[in-house]
Chains A and B, each alone.
Chain A
Amino acid sequence: MHNVVCIKQVPDSAQIRVHPVTNTIMRQGVPTIINPYDLFALEAALELRDKFGGEITVVTMGPPSAEDSLRKALTFGAERAVLLTDRCFAGADTLATTYALATAIRKIGKDYGQPDLIFTGKQTIDGDTAQVGPGIAKRLQVMQLTYVVKIGALDLTARTIEAERRSEGGVQVLRTRLPCLITMLEATNQIRRGAMADALRAARAPIVKWSAQDAGVEDISKCGLKGSPTVVKRVFAPSARADKATLVEPSEEPAQALIDTIFKHQPKLEADLAALAGNV
């Protein structure tokens, strides 16, 4: 089987700092990583390949430096990496991103075999929208299974797949048709340690680099800034609350002092808490 895994190179948000005076992002020294949610997607694809054979193509849209993340994905065992990079993709919102990625996936299908499954992570840690997966599925007119916890029976002859997906209040078990786009939920697997052979191969493997034209983009106005219906008008730091916290003075019995302060602040709370605690 042929599975395509979409990944994104993101700044390691745990290390992002905002300049206290200028309210700008300080990118200096912030390392980039593969969006952590995408690794669950990649591992799910690797497990299916172990079981059913075939190939995995990882694809990303980004600046030329996103090649690093693709190489990293190759060290885990993916066969092929495609980098979609072009100035015209810059400034894309989710709708424009899905146009570019869906176009590239069609081209991947033409060049390397039609994909059975397309994987993405649940969302990215920099955008947090969870919109690109469903958007790609819609553009490609394929079925979608989001927030997948577990992939069940896969029948390549009947072209069906069963999967468990997280939904509000429980897990929904569905059967649908291939090809299908899957967004994997976090903590559903753990990315493997890549084999030494893969690490060696990844260091030298050619990365397929496509411009918009190479990928088969027909309408450049659907890409990047031009193709984005949303407009970011303002970026700002959250305003500070006018008054800082009332600090409880250090005392012999700080717990007692804290509770007294709490109930002085909100006298009604005591009855509410007593009712709740009484239910335990």
Chain B
Amino acid sequence: MTNVIKAPASSAAGRAAAKKELPEHFRAYKHVWVFVEQERGEVHPVSWELMGAGRRLADKLKVDLAAVVIGPEGEAARNAALQSFSYGANLVYLVADQVLADYRNEAYTKALTDLVNSYKPEILLLGATTLGRDLAGSVATTLLTGLTADCTELDVDSDGSLAATRPTFGGSLLCTIYTLNYRPQMATVRPRVMPMPECIARDPGRIILHSLDLIEADIVSKVLSFVPDRDSSISSLAYADVVVAGGLGLGSVENFELVRQLAAVLGAEHGCSRPLVQKGWVTSDRQIGQTGKTIRPKLYIAAGISGAIQHRVGVEGADLIIAINTDKNAPIFDFAHIGVVTDAVRLLPALAAAFQARLSPRLRDRVVSHDFRGAPQRRRGP
């Protein structure tokens, strides 16, 4: 007896037959919105990446692209609004209020749902960051609309619906999800999944101010403090120009040190595939793939990583992918640009030495430190 079941459970097959019959009251919903995420005065670059994706959707739909800036009053919010135009927005909705100084679900959910109910967008995109996911889940539930998480591709189809594609079943397959008969159609996208659009100085367009209508006494949750991460290299993995990562093919936790050493030589960040996190060899903030970080470096070196789709979707945006694996049939050779069929444990030290010699002759005699912990600090973002 064969036990191969069609990928979506049988009930999901029924969904595919669903028809678009948009209720009358949703027909007024127009335009594409991108939530511009600020934390402590800094715009998260994922917001600009989304602006690029949102621009393409808006152009295809022949509608406007609006940026939604929610935060405390002041220069940071104003700058975020102005920058939004440079990244392609036609207009900005701005909710600026002191009670929005720190992210709190209650206040931000109210701000965003009020905006949606007042100005009615057809599409609303947010970054799949901790903030974006916390907020998107609350807003979608409040509005009783559909939300598709961690999309890898956004498009509009012939009838103007948002086609949101995301990996499913742990990244073994992709599925395209529609919110046919509810508005707005909401989606989140993880940092680095979409390319960073060009920032072109443009005259600012309209900024529509919306008041929050909420006072501090109304907000239950109080922020007691904020402890910034000491190791800023963790947050810069997604935005690193060069990444070296290791997988199970390294054979042992000790051999992972070879990955760190090559990364050190290259001034790169190091990462790993999911099995190493599951084995406890490497902490989860170093995981690259669908459930870890998505990267788009200029150079990505994957050592002893077989290249399961869960990993592939996290690295496909790299300009150049180098795969080192003993198994010439490993799936990673299907999407890497350059491959070496050999044992990474033997190649990595030689590669570190060769890179060192080639890139910086004056560093040739430098001994690679064995307790190297992190790469140089780099500013996150564009």
Interface residues of A (CB under 8 A from B): 13-14, 16-19, 22-28, 90-91, 93-95, 98, 125-135, 137-139, 143-144, 146-147, 162, 164-177, 186-187, 224-225, 228-238, 240-241, 244-248, 250, 253-256, 258-259, 261-262, 265-266, 269-270, 272-274, 276-280
Contact A236 B174 (CB under 8 A): yes
Q: How far is the CB of A139 from chain B (nearest CB, A)?
A: 6
Do B138 and A231 have beta carbons less than 8 Å apart?
A: no
Give bound CA distance, A130 to B37, whole Å.
18
Tally of A-B Cβ pairs under 8 angstroms: 331
Provide the residues of chain A in CB contact with B131, threshold 8 Å.
Answer: 167-168
Q: Are B141 and A233 in contact, CB atoms less than 8 angstroms apart?
A: no
Instruction: Report chain A residues within 8 Å CB of B323.
Output: 245
Q: Which of B73-81, B116-124, B225-233 contacts A (4 or more CB under 8 A)?
A: B225-233
Report A-chain residues with C-beta under 8 Å of the C-beta of B181.
229
Bound together, the chains give a CA A54 to CA B104 distance in angstroms of: 30
Partner of B241 from A90, A143, A230, A276 at Cβ < 8 Å: A276
- On whether A241 and B172 interact (CB within 8 A), knowing A98-B141, A125-B291, A269-B299, the answer reads no
Show 29 residue pairs from A and B whose CB-CB distance is below 8 angstroms, ordered by the A residue.
A13-B169, A16-B169, A23-B173, A25-B7, A27-B5, A93-B146, A95-B140, A127-B149, A128-B290, A135-B140, A137-B138, A168-B131, A169-B39, A170-B227, A172-B225, A173-B223, A187-B284, A232-B177, A233-B163, A238-B309, A238-B312, A245-B321, A250-B342, A258-B322, A259-B358, A273-B266, A276-B267, A277-B355, A278-B267
What residues on A are CB-neighbors of B129 within 8 Å? 168
Knowing A134-B137, A256-B354, A259-B354, the reply to whether A248 touches B340 (Cβ < 8 A) is yes
B 118-155 contacts with A by CB, 8 A: 129-131, 133-134, 136-138, 140-142, 144-150
Is there an interface contact between B220 and A134, defined as CB atoms closer than 8 Å?
no
Residues of B within 8 Å of A278, CB to CB, are: 267, 359-360, 363
Which of A98, A247, A262, A280 neighbours the largest number of chain B CB atoms within 10 Å of its CB?
A280
Within 8 Å CB of A225, what residues of B? 11, 14-15
B367 in contact (CB, < 8 A): no
Specify which of A144, A234, A253, A258 lies most central, judged by the most chain B CB atoms within 10 Å of its CB.
Answer: A258
Docked Cα-Cα span, A171 to B102, in Å, equals 12
Partner among B3, B149, B172 whose Cβ is within 8 Å of the Cβ of A128: B149
In the complex, what residues of A have CB within 8 A of residue B242's CB? 273, 276
Interchain CB contact under 8 A, B18 and A91: no
Q: List the A side residues contacting B350 at CB < 8 Å.
A: 253-255
Which residues in A have their C-beta under 8 angstroms from that of B264? 280
Residue B202, interface by CB 8 Å? no
Main secondary structure of the interface of A (DSSP, over half): mixed
User: Which residues of B lie under 8 Å from residue A241 when comparing CB positions?
Assistant: 334-335
In this complex, what residue of A is CB-closest to B183? A229
Q: Is there contact, CB below 8 Å, between B224 and A138?
A: no
**Which residue, of B16, B232, B340, has the highest number of chain A Cβ atoms within 10 A?**
B340
Inter-chain pairs besides A233-B163, A238-B174, 19 sampled, C-beta below 8 Å: A14-B278, A25-B6, A27-B3, A27-B5, A129-B147, A131-B136, A131-B147, A138-B142, A172-B223, A176-B220, A233-B15, A253-B354, A254-B340, A255-B347, A270-B358, A270-B359, A272-B298, A276-B241, A276-B242
Task: Give CA–CA (A165, B179) in the complex, Å.
Answer: 31
Q: How far is the CA of A147 from the CA of B142 in the complex (A)?
A: 20
Most A Cβ at <10 Å: residue of B9, B131, B137, B283: B137
B341 is an interface residue with CB less than 8 A from chain A? yes
Chain A residue with Cβ nearest B227: A171
Whether A279 touches B174, Cβ cut-off 8 Å, given contacts A131-B136, A234-B16, A262-B299, is no
CB distance from B5 to the nearest CB of A (A): 5
* Cross-chain contact B170 with A13 (CB below 8 angstroms): yes
Do A246 and B338 form a contact, CB below 8 Å, given A27-B3, A259-B358, A273-B242?
Answer: yes
